[in-house]
Structure 1
Amino acid sequence: MTDAASGSVESPRLARLGTLFGAVVAPSTFVTALLYYFGYWHAYWFFDYFGVNSTMLGFGTVDYLMRSLDALFVPMVVVAAGSLIAFWGHTLLSARLASRIGSPSLRIFVPFVAGVGFLLALGGFWSVLDARVFLRDHLVAAPLSLAFGVILLTYALHLYRALPPVAGPPTPRNDDDPENEPANSTNNEPADSTNDDPERSSPPAASPTTRRPEWTAVAEWGVVFALVGLSLIWAANDYAAAVGRGRAEQQASQLADSPTAVLYSERRLDLGAPGVREVRCRDPKSAYPFRYEGLTLLMQSADQYVLLPQAWTPATGVAVVLPRTDSVRIEFVPYSARATLGRATC
């Protein structure tokens, strides 16, 4: 069976699998849930770096969806580019397979692909069962090992089923044996030309592709998509966590150059964070008699302010979470105007 014929058999099964998946899970709901999931972990690890639990900040669905774009941009570009290269490579390989020019090479290439896929899949499965596997020490190495292993095993099986059958050795012919006499030789008619062809005189070898029930093919593709999909979700989750923490480290390194958030409050907040200075306003009738300098705004979400001291460090810094109320007012001073803070009055 040629690769084109094999593809024509698999296409209806893949279409049936897609229809079944669409009937069980709405695609838009599934995609939204994935984006929400990745955005959640991005936010969790970002604020965890500053010692803040992101669940108390009141993020909504839109907040998580927006954060998921930062976590998924690079993986989506890599997957799209890799898929395009894989499609082009498959097209070239299919042309060689259809012409049977590369059949001997393919009979070596297919076991090689299967062997590499088996080793990668084994490493991925091992990482799932044992967190001490060395693959877990490297970012997305374990999930990608499982995903690529399953893909290579599936592709090797696809190529094996598309390989042309191997012709068996020709059957030796004994002209002295009367049983080999052509049946029509008594009528002085020419023998069938197929008896003169040694390749046709032997029984055809069995094709690697056998007819299977449709449900087994659909189930096989379903398991493949499940394993690859879960592996890619695992990889994207690890990458989202790494991006969230990386963005937090980048933000922390820029605190000294960030605009200063001057916090005015009706009541004394007693902020004892390093580098934060409390100033009491001289005017007793001031609506906001307490001013706090040396802060920078990290995030405003829902009804919460997340403020950091500009001298914040992972070892000694603390984060300040304040409710957004009328008793608190915030002014921002750019970096170039910080020299005026010490002379400011309420």
Structure 2
Amino acid sequence: MPSTISVIGALLSQVAFVTGVLYYFGWAYSHAYFAYFGVDAGALGFTTQEYVLRSLNSLFRPGMFTLLAILVLLAGRWLPELHARWSRRPRRTLRRWVEVTGTIGVALTAAVAIVMFVPTSVAGPVGIYAPFVLLAGMVCLGFASRLRWKYRSLLGIRAPRTAADVVASKTRILVLIAVGMVAYVWAVAAYADRRGLDDAQHAASDHFIDKPSILVFSVDRLGIDGAGAQVGEITMPGEKYRYVYSGLWLLARTTDRYYLLPQLWQAKTDRVFVIKDGDTIRVDIARNP
């Protein structure tokens, strides 16, 4: 029974971590996407479920890359042992592996620390790669730690293992895992931010062909203008609505508001119109032809 409970607990912790990553990706993606149009995604009131759902399509590539990277790492962990067996000097070979992987890990981690905390001219351009570099550093340090722990005698470490050594080893592993998880979430957020901005720019360059077309009927003038937006006056007697606005795309919708773009919206030139739902307006939504 305890083993079953521990397995269930482990599964739940993994599900919680994956859900957190999906939520964070959806949040970062949405904020970057809508920020391009000058809209704060926080004002749209997305729920946790909506953030998770918004992340699924864009996470396909990084998800596949993550799975492939895990498979490569699982297969590659035996490379030092195989190399040592095939070489004529296994002790020297393993020492080289420990020295090289450990040095690379320290160098990569130090490089990220410099980029993060020391202002330099290259910090900005290089900073986007920092989480991936940090992940690679943690992998290298993990390889070195595993080899040192598993082949102590072969590496010439003659001192017997003590309780303090076990605690130090477990602490080191936990630190590496914790930093690796932080780096992974950081990398996901960086990718999401870049992907959100790219998708927004792509949508604008394609003139929002995937957005629904909007007609707004209003009792009063709404002051909607901009490139491509048009307004017509309804003069039929007995008609409730006096004005109709066309040439608009739907950017987002909340429970009580519509966020609309003029048909030929241009960044830094045109506005996003926020229309509050109510009895004085009617919004018709049609598929973009």
TM-score bracket for this pair, using the shorter chain length = 0.7 to 0.9
| Residues 261 and 271 in structure 2, CA contact (< 8 A), matched pair in contact too | yes
Q: How do 1:225-240 and structure 2 match up within 5 A? A: 225-240=177-192
The reply on whether 1:109 has 2:61 as its aligned counterpart is no
Q: CA deviation at 1:135?
A: 5.3
Query: For residue 148 of structure 1, what is the aligned residue in structure 2?
Result: 136
- Highest Rg: 1 or 2? 1
Match for residue 42 of structure 2 among 20, 39, 55: 55
Over 3 Å counting, the alpha-carbon distance change for 1:140 and 1:207 in structure 2 is farther
Taking a change above 3 Å as real, the CA distance of residues 67 and 257 of structure 1, as seen in their structure-2 partners, is closer
Consecutive unaligned residues of structure 1, counting only runs of 5 or more, are: 1-14, 168-204, 337-346
Deviation at 1:323, TM superposition (A): 2.2
**Match for 1:72 among 59, 74, 81?**
59
Structure 1 residue 160 and structure 2 residue 148: aligned? yes
Q: Equivalent residue of 2:78, what SS?
A: helix
- Tell whether the 8 Å contact from 1:139 to 1:238 is kept in structure 2 after alignment: no
2:29 counterpart residue number: 42
Work out which of the residue numbers 249, 254, 257 in structure 2 matches 1:304: 257
- In 1, distance between residues paired with 2:47 and 2:242? 34
**Residue 116 of structure 2 contacts residue 123 of structure 2 at CA under 8 Å; is this kept in 1?**
no
RMSD: 2.9
> Counterpart amino acid of 1:48?
A
1:254 aligns with 2:206: yes
Q: TM-score, normalised by structure 1?
A: 0.71
Report the TM-score when normalising by structure 2: 0.84
Share of identical aligned residues, percent?
Answer: 27
Tell me the amino acid that sits aligned with residue 61 of structure 2. Answer: V
- Are 1:220 and 2:207 counterparts? no
Inter-partner Cα distance in structure 2 for 1:86 and 1:209: 29
> Which structure 2 residue ranges, 5 or more long, are not aligned?
none
Aligned counterparts, 1:1-346, within 5 A: 26-97=13-84, 103=90, 104-130=92-118, 132=120, 134=122, 136-138=124-126, 140-163=128-151, 165=153, 206-207=157-158, 210-213=161-164, 214-255=166-207, 257=209, 260-332=213-285
Q: Paired residue for 1:201?
A: none
Q: Which residue of 2 aligns with 1:176?
A: none
Assess, with a 3 A threshold, how the Cα gap between structure 1 residues 82 and 300 changes in structure 2: closer, same or farther.
same
Is the Cα contact below 8 Å between 1:261 and 1:296 reproduced in 2? yes
The verdict on how the C-alpha distance between 1:102 and 1:298 changes in structure 2, with shifts beyond 3 A counting, is farther
Are the counterparts in 1 of residues 108 and 136 from structure 2 also a CA contact under 8 Å? Answer: yes
Aligned residues: 279
Distance 1:164 1:98 in 2: 16
CA deviations on 1:241-267 (whole Å, 9 max, x unpaired) are: 111111111211222645532211222
The one-letter code of the counterpart of 1:207 is R
